[in-house]
């Protein structure tokens, strides 16, 4: 294969135009003297179903915009291999995700700082959340954070039932409360998905000092004398090398950033050698510490007015489509969940370790990959274990950069995670059987009210539990032997190389992960600018 050099010189080469990468490209290129290149393996994200929030279901298995990964089979989950979607487009996973906007909890970030990461405590990161959010009149950042287009009465009753169970009602969620329930905000602007690309880069694409290139699969980082000097990229079957005068910043996400590091010779030395890769630096933490929220979905048959399933079937579906086109509102403008309760599974936890996200509707994942709204009147909620103890790993499958990495998330491998999920299902059932929600429910559909004992519920978790699509932690920030980056996100032992995306989280945040990744991008851009040395 021919290797060509790109004659253009860039100060910073950013790998991956996802939630974090787009932010860094925007913030660094705010300085016209800095030349920035953003490389994305996927295509531009365009089209009606990308823009329309309800289009999330159409993107779920769409391999044009989605890497469409699968985990290895997991003994803890009856040897099931779980589907793990990841965005592959400008915007990354924020171009295909459920758009729910949650900062995470004060406790998450204070914990990061306590683990030896100065500058990442809640009081340090809160200004970055405020800088990124656009929620007038409170904040005026680039990313629109909006209230639900429809506040369905059943979701309001879920929040009130949670309140009667002792969970305080808030709006908006601030991240300060140990437990809380309320309507969820979403990264939606005027009824359209607001990916990090749309928020940060679309408005500045004409900048002379910013190049954004799609269809560029980065194979590895080029390292000379323990310094990153550029990247090797596959574009239309041709190999190119691109030079970075100052730094290479990996923002390829929690599943691909460790892969690119390992392909570059940075990782566990023995494992690299087994794949025929000459180790540049033995950094055994690369790919380890992988975490995701484990999730179980509970569904109930409901009274007709309690569910909006019918609004999306038959002739009503067309009426709903017309409503969306005319007003950019209605159910097609809704995020993946409408309301949530952040709850502690037991008093051992000082802040929530469960998220219960609620929808006055239900859907079915078909084997074909289609996601279909059910025709019956029904409502649902997902229980997430947001502070899991189980840890997994990303490994290389081969030394071929085009092969998917190998994923072993080991979900539910720690007994405490099983206990958390059992508590979560029981607490959710208690909320749903509290008024004013209780009278709306006819019967539990899944797992069904007959599933009551620990054994019966564990059986359900093992058969039906899923990944939450919030992988994190695989290049963790810290100072112990397994840390991959330091608190300034610099890869330990290599100059001019950083990682800035979900993989740097030492522990996954206790909520949906898009907002924290955008915050990481904001903070990373300040760290990079502060560390800028003359070339």
Give me the 249-288 binding string for ligand FAD, x by CB under 6 A, dash otherwise.
--xxxx-x---x----------------------------
Q: Under the criterion CB under 6 A, does residue 94 sit at the interface with ligand FAD?
A: yes
Binding test (CB under 6 A) with ligand FAD, winner from 13, 24, 74, 87: 87
Closest CA to 182 of 101, 256, 126: 101
Using an 8 Å Cβ cutoff, are 355 and 381 in contact? no
**CA-based max dimension of the chain:** 69
Binding test (CB under 6 A) with ligand FAD, winner from 40, 157, 232, 374: 40
Q: Under the criterion CB under 6 A, does residue 97 sit at the interface with ligand FAD?
A: yes
Q: In this structure, what token pair is assigned to residue 529?
A: 């600018």
Binding test (CB under 6 A) with ligand FAD, winner from 229, 517, 524, 528: 517
- Rounded to 5, what percent of the chain is helix, strand, coil? 30, 25, 45
Q: Which stretch binds ligand FAD (CB under 6 A): 92-100, 171-179, 325-333, 454-462?
A: 92-100
Contacts of residue 315, Cβ cutoff 8 Å, sequence gap at least 6: none
Q: Under the criterion CB under 6 A, does residue 418 sit at the interface with ligand FAD?
A: no
Give me the 307-346 binding string for ligand FAD, x by CB under 6 A, dash otherwise.
-----------------------------x----------
Residue count, binding to ligand FAD (CB under 6 A): 43
Min CB(66)–ligand FAD separation in Å: 8
Which residue's CB is nearer to ligand FAD, number 445 or number 467? Answer: 467
Min CB(69)–ligand FAD separation in Å: 10
Binding test (CB under 6 A) with ligand FAD, winner from 80, 106, 217, 359: 217
d(CA 41, CA 289): 25
Q: Is 416 helix (H, G, I), strand (E, B) or coil?
A: helix
Q: Under the criterion CB under 6 A, does residue 423 sit at the interface with ligand FAD?
A: no
Q: Under the criterion CB under 6 A, does residue 16 sit at the interface with ligand FAD?
A: yes
Q: Under the criterion CB under 6 A, does residue 522 sit at the interface with ligand FAD?
A: no
Min CB(32)–ligand FAD separation in Å: 25
Distance between start and end Cα atoms, the chain: 32
Closest CA to 425 of 363, 387, 458, 383: 383
The CA angle 508-510-516, to the nearest 5 degrees, is: 65
The β-bridge relationship of strands 133-135 and 139-140 is antiparallel
Instruction: Assess whether 194 carries a catalytic annotation.
Output: no
Q: Which stretch binds ligand FAD (CB under 6 A): 1-9, 81-89, 134-142, 483-491?
A: 81-89
Q: In this structure, what token pair is assigned to residue 394?
A: 């990303």
Min CB(157)–ligand FAD separation in Å: 22
Q: Under the criterion CB under 6 A, does residue 44 sit at the interface with ligand FAD?
A: no
Closest CA to 312 of 381, 344, 345, 360: 360
d(CA 500, CA 514): 13
Q: Under the criterion CB under 6 A, does residue 357 sit at the interface with ligand FAD?
A: no
d(CA 267, CA 413): 24
Q: Which residue reads 């958390």 in tokens?
A: 420
Q: Which stretch binds ligand FAD (CB under 6 A): 83-91, 135-143, 422-430, 439-447?
A: 83-91
Backbone angles phi, psi at 247, to 5 degrees: -150, 155
d(CA 514, CA 93): 8
Binding test (CB under 6 A) with ligand FAD, winner from 6, 38, 42, 281: 42
Which residue's CB is nearer to ligand FAD, number 445 or number 515? Answer: 515
Q: Under the criterion CB under 6 A, does residue 512 sit at the interface with ligand FAD?
A: yes
Contacts of residue 123, Cβ cutoff 8 Å, sequence gap at least 6: none
Which residue minimizes CB distance to ligand FAD?
Answer: 18
d(CA 382, CA 340): 9
Q: Under the criterion CB under 6 A, does residue 41 sit at the interface with ligand FAD?
A: yes
d(CA 425, CA 429): 6
Cα 180 to the center of its chain, rounded Å: 21
Binding test (CB under 6 A) with ligand FAD, winner from 10, 12, 13, 18: 18
Q: Which stretch binds ligand FAD (CB under 6 A): 69-77, 375-383, 426-434, 510-518?
A: 510-518
In eight-state DSSP terms, residue 400 is -
Q: 194, 217, 293, 470: which one is catalytic?
A: 470
CB count within 10 Å of CB 12 equals: 24
Which residue's CB is nearer to ligand FAD, number 100 or number 244? Answer: 100
Which residue's CB is nearer to ligand FAD, number 180 or number 256? Answer: 256
What are the angstrom distances between the C-alpha of 367 and each of 53, 61, 147, 335, 371? 23, 11, 33, 23, 9
Give me the 480-509 binding string for ligand FAD, x by CB under 6 A, dash otherwise.
---------------------xx-------
Binding test (CB under 6 A) with ligand FAD, winner from 50, 394, 515, 519: 515
Q: In this structure, what token pair is assigned to residue 274?
A: 């087994």
d(CA 92, CA 195): 8
Which residue's CB is nearer to ligand FAD, number 88 or number 328? Answer: 88
Residues that bind ligand FAD (CB under 6 A): 15-21, 39-42, 85-88, 92-94, 96-100, 102, 216-218, 251-254, 256, 260, 336, 469-470, 501-502, 512-515, 517
Catalytic positions, written as ranges: 470
């Amino acid at each position: 294969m021919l290797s060509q050099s790109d004659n253009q010189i860039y100060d910073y080469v950013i790998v991956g135009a996802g939630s974090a990468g787009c932010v860094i490209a925007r913030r660094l290129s705010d300085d016209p003297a800095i030349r920035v290149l953003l490389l994305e393996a996927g295509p531009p994200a365009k089209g009606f179903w990308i823009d329309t929030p309800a289009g999330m279901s159409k993107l779920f298995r769409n391999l044009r915009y989605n890497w469409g990964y699968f985990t290895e089979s997991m003994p803890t989950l009856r040897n099931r291999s779980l589907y793990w979607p990841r965005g592959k487009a400008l915007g990354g996973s924020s171009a295909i995700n459920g758009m729910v906007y949650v900062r995470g909890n004060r406790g998450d970030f204070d914990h990061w700082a306590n683990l030896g990461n100065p500058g990442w405590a809640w009081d340090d990161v809160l200004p970055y959340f405020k800088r990124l959010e656009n929620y007038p009149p409170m904040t005026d950042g680039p990313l629109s954070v909006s209230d639900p287009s429809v506040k369905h009465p059943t979701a309001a009753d879920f929040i009130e039932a949670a309140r009667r169970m002792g969970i305080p009602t808030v709006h908006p969620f601030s991240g300060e409360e140990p437990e809380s329930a309320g309507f969820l905000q979403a990264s939606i602007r005027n009824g359209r998905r607001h990916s990090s690309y749309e928020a940060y880069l679309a408005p500045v694409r004409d900048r002379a000092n910013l190049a954004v290139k799609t269809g560029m699969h980065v194979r590895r980082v080029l390292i000379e004398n323990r310094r990153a000097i550029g990247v090797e990229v596959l574009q239309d079957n041709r190999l190119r090398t691109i030079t970075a005068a100052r730094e290479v910043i990996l923002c390829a996400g929690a599943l691909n950033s460790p892969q690119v590091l390992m392909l570059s010779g940075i990782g566990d030395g023995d494992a690299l050698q087994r794949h025929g890769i000459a180790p540049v630096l033995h950094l055994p933490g690369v790919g380890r510490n992988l975490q995701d929220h484990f999730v179980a979905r509970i569904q109930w048959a409901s009274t007709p007015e309690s569910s909006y399933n019918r609004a999306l079937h038959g002739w009503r579906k067309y009426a709903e489509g017309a409503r969306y086109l005319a007003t950019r509102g209605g159910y097609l403008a809704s995020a993946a969940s409408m309301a949530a309760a952040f709850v502690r599974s037991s008093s051992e936890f000082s802040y929530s370790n469960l998220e219960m996200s609620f929808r006055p509707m239900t859907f079915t994942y078909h084997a074909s990959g289609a996601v279909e709204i059910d025709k019956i009147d029904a409502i649902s909620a997902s229980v997430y274990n947001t502070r899991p103890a189980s840890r997994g790993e990303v490994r290389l499958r081969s030394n071929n950069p085009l092969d998917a990495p190998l994923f072993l998330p080991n979900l539910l491998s720690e007994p405490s995670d099983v206990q958390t999920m059992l508590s979560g299902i029981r607490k959710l059932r208690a909320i749903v059987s509290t008024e004013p929600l209780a009278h709306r429910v006819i019967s539990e559909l899944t797992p069904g009210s007959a599933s009551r004992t620990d054994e019966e519920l564990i059986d359900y978790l093992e058969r039906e539990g899923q990944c939450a699509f919030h992988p994190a932690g695989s290049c963790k920030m810290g100072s112990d032997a397994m840390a991959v980056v330091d608190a300034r996100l610099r890869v330990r032992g290599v100059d001019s190389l950083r990682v800035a995306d979900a993989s740097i989280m030492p522990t996954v945040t206790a909520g949906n992960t898009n907002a924290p990744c955008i915050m990481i991008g904001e903070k990373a851009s300040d760290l990079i600018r502060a560390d800028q040395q003359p070339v």
